[in-house]
Amino acid sequence: MPEAAPSTEGPSDARITGTAAGMKLSLDLNCGAMLGEGTSGAVYAVDSSCDGRQYALKVKKKGSAGAAALAECQLHAALPQCEAIVQYCFAWTTPSHVYVLMERMATELWQAVLQPPTSSAALSERLQWSKDVLSAVACLHSIKVAHRDVNPWNLFVSFGHTGRRCKLGDLGLAARLPKSGRFAGRHEPGAPSLDESAIDSLYSAPELGADAEAGGYSLPADVFSTGVVLVAIWHSAVVFDASEDDVTDTTEAVRRSGELPWIVPCRIARLVRRLTSHYPEQRPSAGEAAAVLMAMASAHDAIAAVAEEVDAPAGASSVRPPHPRPWKLPWPSCWRRRRGTGTARRPVQLSVKV
């Protein structure tokens, strides 16, 4: 980790130079607006005069928060290449601060999902986001790393050659699985401790509650969180006049009872029900779920009507699936649920936005 000496600790222009282990570091960073702030530090928009690229710069004070930031950097740097994970560039330290330079994203996924899709292309974009989220989680799980904080504020949207893509970021609570294959509780040795916001979030798996201390939890906890994120991604597409409170209502129902209040069954809904099962052993792995989504070539595949898995009445030989018929985008009116009148509890924002 280079020990550098920027001319300022704040959000202003700085020339960063230094050497470490034979590596020479020379970079002009023009610091701009603050993108987000948390209890341990802030994130700034920065432009590089050397390569012309735009970055996000996370600044944390040294101490316990700084040590956690360094551990996060080491884990982030060790990840395999994945287009669905925010790119880590490098980090450096000063006597008082830790600096982490990362790929800059356009916006949080939460802001993007509140914009109802109005065309076939917008629906295809939602399907791509769903694939991106599951691909990112599957990448982490492939090397036995649990993110433990998957939610729409730690997922970000960027503009690429093929349209807007979704990427997973903020690995502040990420940790490698213990040798036992399960985290014993919220205070696993060698891993960042889970705080109350991570445990009580609408996107956290049920086993992170009281059961976290009793039976522990493992990678399926991330799968549950990913399933609830998919609920948020598709909600404004299947619900008429969706709002922030509508999305919160639905995610709260999924976490509380496992209920998915979508009226007409479709392929994406069937997958989400499996991901958000309250029984961890019944959830598919992130890799299996990603494969299911990759097989959906278009948004029409994702919303294609399917037969519900219901118990047939005694004597019935089969359950007839819904009759398929064409409709105009974005969705047929029968798929929409009217907006509720109750007051929803706001989602819990878990950590620093990157």
Per-residue pLDDT of the chain (354 residues; tens, 9 = 90+): 555 544 344 444 444 444 444 444 455 677 788 888 765 678 888 887 777 788 889 888 877 666 777 888 889 999 999 999 999 988 888 888 888 899 999 889 998 888 777 777 788 898 999 999 999 999 999 999 999 999 999 999 988 777 899 999 988 889 999 998 888 877 777 788 887 777 878 899 988 876 555 668 999 999 999 999 999 998 877 665 567 888 888 888 888 887 776 655 688 888 999 999 999 999 999 999 999 999 988 888 887 777 655 333 343 333 333 333 233 333 333 333 333 333 433 433 323 333
Q: How many structural domains does the chain have?
A: 2
- Residues 47 and 111 both lie in one domain: no
Residue 260: inside a domain, yes or no? yes
At residue 343, the pLDDT reads 41
- Residues 314 and 190 both lie in one domain: yes
Interstrand relation of 97-103 and 88-93 (parallel, antiparallel or unpaired): antiparallel
CATH number at 202 reads 1.10.510.10
CA neighbor of 221 nearest in space, from 268, 156, 177: 177
CB 262 within 8 A of CB 276: no
- Residues 150 and 56 both lie in one domain: no
- Residues 256 and 183 both lie in one domain: yes
At residue 66, the pLDDT reads 67
- Residues 234 and 331 both lie in one domain: yes
Residue 256: inside a domain, yes or no? yes
d(CA 89, CA 102): 5
Q: Tell me the whole-structure pTM to 2 decimals.
A: 0.78
- Residues 162 and 213 both lie in one domain: yes
Residue 217: inside a domain, yes or no? yes
At residue 322, the pLDDT reads 32
- Looking from the CA of 203 toward its CB, the CA atoms found within 13 Å total 29
CATH number at 75 reads 3.30.200.20
Domain residues for the domain of 129 are 107-335
At residue 289, the pLDDT reads 96
CA neighbor of 123 nearest in space, from 163, 158, 85, 161: 163
Residue 349: inside a domain, yes or no? no
- Residues 119 and 89 both lie in one domain: no
Among 103, 138, 160, identify where a domain stops: 103
CB 112 within 8 A of CB 157: yes
At residue 320, the pLDDT reads 31
Report whether the peptide linkage leading into residue 324 is cis, meaning its omega lies within 30 degrees of zero.
Answer: no
At residue 275, the pLDDT reads 95
DSSP state of 80: P
